[in-house]
A and B are shown apart, each in its own frame.
Chain A
Amino acid sequence: MHNQHLVWISPVRKSGLAFFLLGLLVFIGMLFSNQYQLSEKVLSSSINNSTHRQLIEPHFTELMNTSITNKFTFIEGVRSTFKHYNDTVYQRYHLSRADIEAILTQVKSMGFYDLNMLTAVFNTQDDYAVYKIKKLSDYTGWLSGQQGKTLDEINQVINEKSVEINAKVLLDKRIDSYAIGQYLYAIVKASSSAKVSKNTAAFFIFSVVLATIGALMYIIPEKFSGPAGIKNNNVFKNSATNGGLIGMLVMSFLVLVYIALYFFPEYIIEWVSLVDPLFEALNGNGASAWSIYGFIYTLAIVVMGVRMFIKYRHSNYHIARTGSIIFFQSCFAFLLPELLIKLNQPSTDLKNMWPLDFDFFDAWNLDSLSSSGDIGLFMLVWGITLFVIGVPVFTYFFGKRWYCSWVCGCGGLAETAGDPYRHLSNKSVNAWRLERVVIHSVLILCIVMTATALYTYFTGVKTIAGIDTYALRSGYGFFIGALFSGVIGTGFYPKLGSRVWCRFGCPLAAYIGLIQRYKSRFRITTNGSQCISCGNCSTYCEMGIDVRAYAQRGEDIVRASCVGCGVCSSVCPRGVLKLENGATAAVIDYSKKDDTVNLVRVVSVEESKVMMN
């Protein structure tokens, strides 16, 4: 009788998995659906700096107007063109020994130096000659037409000035790597055959929609498979969740996606096209690489949030915090910033705050906020109030969890999409030691980096004790912002667990953690001496806290890293753990403890049931 109702579950889940994989296949496959053809039109639309365009255009002759199917070949072709251009820019633009000899030969025959002779010397109209003539005019114009200088004097001036001119060639003519990145992305997008952007609806339905439906078909039947409760069956036997082969495949995929996103967005232009219409509608500008990321990120939180709703349907605590996470991610992190762009206001995620939002005090943000009127000022004040007053107050009453497992976007992903990997966190004492050193170092680094940024902002001085404040910021952005929080923090979910960033890297978590550890009412209490040391709590702690070590001694758990997800309490088979902020009652009221009731007769269980119905 038990199984007959459930025969539909397995086929539905299996087809759901198939749909999901098919959708994923289409999603990845579309990256390789385009052909690429470079044209003058492409260049003029992609490179808005006309000098750069004129400079680079002649170097593209080889790629021009040929259709290329292989994305890697095409992108590498464009990239190496820029690289080759930069590598040879000095060679081509500097005043060579031969140039100087030629000038001096002319001077010798004419007896004096004159700018007009340069046209004859260089004898071409190309950009190199124009540049050299321009520079020589600027640097040596005063010498032009002066009679009576000795050849030696002229020789000396030309040589000295050419050294000065040559020193600036790279600065003038090189295209910097930031600009190359921008051009590369634009060129790839403009020269693609645009299969995805011409058929957005179809691609969207057969990738994102199909995978979402598949995922939900896999997730939702779980609700009907039996009574609610903790069901971690086979978590350590399934290679998707025990760090095995499937997990490693997922990890490779995630890492590649993050690397592409941060460093090579030109490889994922098809994904951007996929959400272009959506973002066009939201913000009026269309999508960037970060748009598809934000979209998939939010979708993952929603879909895997549904999984949380079902997995923990017996626990209002998990239902409430998952609902909160979904709300803050979809409204505050996803929708609001896009709508602000549409309203021509500074785009900001109001629930994010310094020091997690490490560039809040960067000049561009301060400028943008301070030049945006009342709303900008509000955002500035809000952002500062949140971490100066909000964090201590909320953390005092509720612990770190008010942010880390109820509001935060990084935490939100970890609590939903990361839930299947939560048990992979390292529980050893050594990992805890490492955690304390690393996370607090990041916090200190972030404070120093911010302080120097503010110093530069207000004084205009760009170096402190020989350290370039800009380099400090970009270094932090690269190593902490991109590599640590993205590539390692999320990419390594299937190997290191879901909270690597939150545990080892997040400066905000470090800050809130210090308050939780030393000045908060929050703690996990243990119920008397009822711990049976089974280890479920420690195993399923995503922060790698050895909860059992405290519980089996009957001690409260007060740890800086605890994000209050409440899973230890849920998986405990003896109900030993409880997350608490409040006072717990302890004293007997002796004046009332002997009060009696007027018992007429004792009611049996059967009678009581009849009475209640």
Chain B
Amino acid sequence: MSTLVIIGNGISGVTVARHVRKLCDMKILIISAETEHFFSRTALMYVFMGHMKFEHTKPYEDNFWQKNHIDLKQGYVSDINTDGKVLNLASGEHIDYNHLVMATGSQSNKFGWPGQDIPGVQTLFSYQDLALMEHNSKHAKQAVMVGGGLIGVEMAEMLVSRGIQVTFLVREDRFWGNILPHAEAKLVQKHAEHHGIDFRFETELKEITAGVNGRVNAVITSTGEEIPCDFVGLSVGVHPNIDLAKKSKIALGRGILVNDFLETNIPDVYAAGDCAEIEVIDGRNRIEPLWYTGKMQGEALAKTIAGKRTKYERGIWYNSAKFFDVEYQTYGYVFNEPLAGISSFYWQHEEENLCLRINFHNDTQVVTGVNTFGIRMRHNIWQNWLANNCTLKYVLQNLRDANFDPELFRRYEKDIIATFNKQQPNNQLTLSPLQWLSKRFTKEKAHA
């Protein structure tokens, strides 16, 4: 029986293992240095805030692995011999493999700032980082977050939950400016400020200084401001973790170079998830450090390994996040800055943290993407609309069908369509009927 070894027990590695197990009876071994069992990295913040215990972040009971004949090893792989198909572990152990999956994930970026390794300065990615944050924040009163992205806002929320004041240094002119258009960024910013976050936009970190106890006592910014603090969180993005791959013959770019089948240059060696850099013939190579893509890559790769060579195809792009209390979803493409040939319809609630942006082609009016804050949207509906090139009119008139908010929540479709009719008085769009009663008695509604 051939042996599949997976390095890394994050979502990509574990998804490969689970799906290979469903498809064939290969021997499967997952090696991780981080934790014994798979856990949800995205849930670390909830452990810190006391919403959950670490054990709750494990998606499978501990006996799941044995029951499914997936072997686990907690250990550190020190190098890979792809010629002999053998892994050498730091413990001195050697492990043979037939198929090897590199799912080593990401590492947090640090850009060589003076003082970036002073005690009290940290990033947040791993289980070990969480323990460190628990330690570092114990007596902290004032924190500085560097980098306005998703991990940054999560760390800020974690710190605020402990009553720690947070100052947020953001290089761009707005929050998450490389993804969000101005209006959405402003909405998130205002909400975060409501939670006590103090933003410094167009401000970069210059230096971190230590006090007499050797721990961080202040940061100095690019504007020359000195902000006293006893905790510094660095969240300026991640890069593929290729430390191990570097010591092998596996071809590397910024990440582990793979084709659309997630195959590396070495036969029977694959990469999936954050660490993989997918080569694109006529464009920029893609690195996708997302939970969703990691999972989809894992599913595709499992088929390939089980003998049915399968391309990783991402389908309609989507992503979601939560900024304090405001949920964000996006389907299709919505760019941070205006794009030639693409227009936006934007609606925002006057008081609540709710907004909706629908982008569409100027000429065909085919919808290209949507951003939604505070309103949950139904994934398969948007996927259908985008895949079938539905127009703005069609989408707006059927917007009710896309709502995924809990029952009895206030609905805003009327408000949204009224806004559109006001902005474009030549059109008087109407919403498709509610059909509350017929929904009770039918399995699927005919049109959406």
Contact = CB atoms under 8 A, between A and B. Distances in A.
B182 interface: yes
Main secondary structure of the interface of A (DSSP, over half): loop
Interface string A314-325: 111100100000
Interface stretch (B28-36, B90-98, B390-398): B390-398
A588 B447 contact: yes
Given A317-B409, A585-B401, A588-B447, A597 B393 contact: yes
Contact of A585 (B291, B381, B436): B381
Contacts of A611: 422-423
A529 B292 contact: yes
Contact of B422 (A237, A238, A532, A612): A612
Contacts of A228: 325
B139 interface: no
Given A535-B46, A584-B444, A594-B390, 11 more contacts: A236-B51, A315-B406, A429-B61, A529-B292, A530-B292, A532-B292, A533-B42, A592-B394, A597-B429, A600-B424, A603-B424
14 contacts: A2-B194, A227-B194, A232-B46, A316-B409, A528-B383, A529-B379, A530-B329, A535-B58, A574-B320, A578-B406, A585-B447, A588-B385, A593-B394, A597-B365
B393 A595 contact: yes
A51 interface: no
Given A227-B194, A536-B52, A597 B424 contact: yes
Interface in B366-404: 376, 378-381, 383-385, 388-394, 398, 401, 404
Residue from A521, A533, A536 whose CB has the most chain B CB atoms within 10 Å: A533
Interface in A389-442: 397, 428-429
Interface stretch (A54-62, A335-343, A462-470, A565-573): A565-573
B26 to A, nearest CB: 21
A236 B444 contact: no
Contacts of A315: 406, 409
A584 B365 contact: no
Contacts of A316: 406, 408-410
Contact of B423 (A226, A238, A428, A608): A608
Nearest to A564: B407
Interface string A1-23: 01100000000000000000000
* Central interface residue in A227, A549, A579, A583, by most chain B CB within 10 Å: A583
A579 to B, nearest CB: 6
A539 B398 CA distance: 35
B196 interface: yes
Contact of A535 (B57, B191, B291, B398): B57
Nearest to B197: A2
A148 interface: no
Interface residues of A, number: 74
Contact of B440 (A582, A596, A598): A582
A599 interface: yes
B257 interface: no
A595 B429 CA distance: 11
B376 A578 contact: yes
B329 A535 contact: no
Contacts of B284: none
A103 B445 CA distance: 96
A434 B365 CA distance: 56
A581 interface: yes
Interface stretch (B204-212, B220-228, B246-254, B343-351): B343-351
Contacts of A535: 40, 43, 46, 52, 56-59
B50 interface: yes
Q: How large is the interface on B (under 10, 10 to 19, 20 to 34, 35 or more residues)?
A: 35 or more
A229 interface: yes
Interface of B: 11, 40, 42-43, 46, 49-53, 56-59, 61, 161, 182-183, 191, 193-196, 291-292, 295-296, 318, 320-322, 324-325, 327, 329, 343-344, 346-348, 350, 362, 364-365, 376, 378-381, 383-385, 388-394, 398, 401, 404-410, 419, 422-424, 426-427, 429, 436, 438-440, 442-448
A583 B390 contact: no
A602 interface: yes
A595 B362 CA distance: 14
A573 B291 CA distance: 14
B51 A232 contact: yes
Contacts of A234: 49-50, 161
Contacts of A521: 440
A98 interface: no
A569 B408 CA distance: 13
Contacts of A600: 424, 426
A538 interface: yes
Nearest to A527: B379
B406 A579 contact: yes
A410 to B, nearest CB: 23
Contacts of A444: none
Contacts of B11: 533
A529 B291 CA distance: 10
Interface string A42-72: 0000000000000000000000000000000
A233 interface: yes
Contacts of B381: 585
B192 to A, nearest CB: 10
Nearest to B407: A317
B445 A3 contact: no
A582 B439 contact: yes
B394 A3 contact: no
Given A585-B444, A589-B448, A539 B427 contact: no
A546 to B, nearest CB: 9
A574 to B, nearest CB: 5
Contact of B59 (A552, A595, A608): A552
Nearest to A315: B406
Interface string A296-338: 0000000000000000001111001000000000000000000
A226 B195 contact: yes
Contacts of A233: 49-51, 161
B447 A612 contact: no
A588 B390 CA distance: 9
A588 B59 contact: no
B125 to A, nearest CB: 15
A597 B361 CA distance: 12
Contacts of B195: 2, 226-227
B362 to A, nearest CB: 8
B40 A533 contact: yes
Interface string A216-237: 0000000000111110111111
Nearest to B181: A605
Considering the complex of A and B, which 8 residue pairs feature the smallest CB-CB distances, nearest first? A528-B379, A229-B325, A585-B448, A582-B439, A534-B43, A589-B447, A575-B376, A234-B50
A530 B318 contact: yes
Contacts of B320: 530, 574-575
A583 B378 CA distance: 13
A237 B48 CA distance: 10
Nearest to B357: A605
A97 B426 CA distance: 115
A118 to B, nearest CB: 79
Contact of A539 (B51, B365, B406): B51
Contact of B46 (A529, A534, A605): A534
A533 B50 contact: no
Nearest to A319: B408
A530 B331 CA distance: 11
Contacts of A171: none
B329 A585 contact: no
A594 B365 CA distance: 8
B424 A599 contact: yes
Nearest to A551: B59
B346 A235 contact: no
Contacts of A538: 56
A527 B376 contact: yes
Contacts of B327: 573-575
A426 to B, nearest CB: 11
B322 A593 contact: no
B57 A227 contact: no
